[in-house]
Amino acid sequence: MTTMTQTSTFVYNLGPVSNIPIGEGRAFLVGDLVVAVFHTRGGEVFATQSTCTHKGGPLADGLIGAGKLICPLHSYKFELATGQPIGHTCAALKTYPVSLSETGDILLTTESTVREEES
């Protein structure tokens, strides 16, 4: 049996960044994923998995500032850009490449791996 894997990249337009108030996050359904997207006071955008690696808190409702994301359930902190935990041992958050188009739309990139088996 032969197994082949193929990775595809998808770019999703999540609409105008102005739909996310500055300093807040919002959850978006992207394919079969839910992703939390944040709009910083500096005008940047970041994207992480939607649930906290501690006990599943809704990260889009968290606080952001100074490059950090604070989970709304137990206030654990993560680096917004990398998802790395700060001061605790929970797993890092998955992060997604995200940028703004020339017209201010949020462009989020995901990868999907398809595994095919041939016998």
- Asked if residue 20 binds ligand FES (CB under 6 A), the reply is no
Candidate residues 74, 91, 99, 112; the one interacting with ligand FES per rule CB under 6 A:
74
Closest contact distance (angstroms) between CB of 36 and ligand FES is 12
- Asked if residue 94 binds ligand FES (CB under 6 A), the reply is no
Q: Which of these, 48, 6, 11, lies nearest to 26 by C-alpha position?
A: 48
Looking up tokens 């604070």 gives: 70
User: Rounded to whole angstroms, how far apart are CA atoms 17 and 105?
Assistant: 6
User: Rounded to whole angstroms, how far apart are CA atoms 27 and 47?
Assistant: 9
Candidate residues 27, 63, 73, 100; the one interacting with ligand FES per rule CB under 6 A:
73
The string of DSSP letters for 13-38 reads EEEEGGGS-TTEEEEEEETTEEEEEE
Decide if 6 contacts 118 (C-beta within 8 A).
Answer: no
89 vs 103, which CB is nearer to ligand FES? 89
- Of the candidate spans 10-18, 37-45, 51-59, 101-109, the one that interacts with ligand FES by CB under 6 A turns out to be 51-59
77 vs 100, which CB is nearer to ligand FES? 77
List of residues contacting ligand FES (CB under 6 A): 52, 54-57, 71, 73-74, 76
